Amino acid sequence: METSFARAGGLLALAAALLGGGPALADLSIPMVYLRQEVAAPPVLSNLDPIPEDRGIAGAELALADTMTTGRFMGQTYSLDIKSVAPGDDLVAAAKDALAKSPILFVDAPTEDILKVADLPEAQDALLFNVSSGDRRLRDADCRGNLLHSIPEDAMRTDALMQVLLDRRWTRTVLIVGPRPDDRALADTLKASAAKYGVEILAEKDWTFDTDLRRATGQEIPLFTQDFPDYDILLIADATDDFARYVQDNTWLPRPVAGSDGLRPEGWAPVLEQWGAVQLQNRFEKAAGRDMQSRDYAAWAALRTVGEAVTRTSSADPQVLRSYILSDAFTLDGFKGRSLSYRGWNGQLRQPIAVVNARALVELAPLDGFLHQVNELDSLGLDQPESACTAFGG
């Protein structure tokens, strides 16, 4: 089943009343679509943190409200359609329908589905944002010139974690890997980042429990971790947030954990409070009734990117916007203390990564001392010389 509903400019009447002064610009209308492929989430051990129904969407809606306020001073109106495709339903048909309405799409879907949408003939002159997949492929050989990425690449997050471990000199680690393919992919990303930053992974164990561990963590996990060699910190690769939460404080050695629990690298986290983040958190919480998550932030950043580009170029043409977004002139205030911009060679949004625990921000990466010849933010994730992406003319 496909649901579709519009959030048009409720501020329009107000806008007309307020437009007293300012640059006399031609009225511009910017329709946008949030296109989501719903994915059946695998069962997880704990029900403590259900995935919000409106994950991602709530971020885009907040950005729409923020952007419309600017628009009302500029004679620009924005609207956002939300199309959510149920598992098994026809995403491509929904994408074609969306592209007929708007050349600007925020795509919230698995990697393969994002590529299907980006490769549609109808999408070739459109501007698409990947707001959900951290997969390296999309920034590497499978990049697409019409596809930008506001969600961090997975390696940006694991690199951020390794910067913190290196800074702390916690460079002897061990790794627990979950049984799913995405756990393995996350483990591989962690290992690549560890190698990049000279962090050792001394041993690796597969998570094999198939019981309900909640009643037996205190018996099982000390045993499971007993044969690890001595280490500084335990890494966990659990992409679906299934078992990671039960490891901390149950290990044989009294050591911290990192990765999918404990010390976590995130695009956004509720513990961010500096750099004006509190204002964004408050606005989000007021609108959505919950904390802002990384997916929400990615959707927020994507729509704000469009708003910023429209404001600065006074254009609604996706190609004009794309050129501006990829130019040196573009900067986005992302409430993370540094100006955000896009990597002109693969379309990834450069951004600091918050390395957090449950109660506080630990570090905002890149950390001091991790230098880069272009931009310190490029010390995180795939860098231009390593990337096989050519769709951006690189």
Indicate the residue type of 278.
V
Q: Which is nearer to another protein, 105 or 280 (CB)?
A: 280
**What's the closest the beta carbon of residue 204 comes to another protein, in angstroms?**
36
How many alpha carbons fall within 13 Å on the CB side of residue 85? 21
Nearer to another protein, 42 or 337 (CB): 337
Q: Toward another protein, which CB reaches closer, 215 or 359?
A: 359
**Minimum CB separation from another protein for residue 72, in Å?**
9
Q: Encode 348-369: b = buried (16+ Cβ within 10 Å), e = exposed.
A: bbbbbbbbbbeeebbbbbbbee
CB of 73 to another protein, least distance (A): 4
User: Do residues 259 and 233 touch, judged by C-beta distance below 8 A?
Assistant: no
- Report the interface residues with another protein, using CB under 8 A: 14, 18, 20-23, 66, 69-70, 73-74, 276, 279, 282-283, 308, 311-312, 331-333, 337-339, 375-377
* Amino acid at residue number 348: Q
Question: Do the beta carbons of residue 110 and residue 85 sit within 8 Å?
Answer: no
CB of 25 to another protein, least distance (A): 10
In angstroms, give the least distance from the CB of 12 to another protein. Answer: 14
H or E, element range at 76: strand 76-85
Residue 67 or 189 having the CB closest to another protein: 67
CB of 67 to another protein, least distance (A): 9
User: Closest separation between CB of residue 249 and another protein, Å?
Assistant: 30
Q: What strand order describes the sheet that includes 200-206?
A: 200-206, 172-177, 233-237, 257-259
Are the CB atoms for 60 and 300 separated by under 8 Å? yes
Rounded to 10 degrees, what is the CA torsion of 376, 193, 150, 354? -70
Using the minimum distance from each CB to another protein, give the nearer residue, 64 or 126: 64
What is the token pair recorded at 172? 């002897």
Instruction: Select 276 or 344, whichever has its Cβ closest to another protein.
Output: 276
- 3-state class of 191 per DSSP? helix
Closer residue to another protein in complex, CB, 72/191: 72
Sequence-separated (6 or more) residues with CB below 8 Å from residue 355: 160, 161, 163, 164, 263, 264, 265, 266, 361, 362, 363, 364, 365
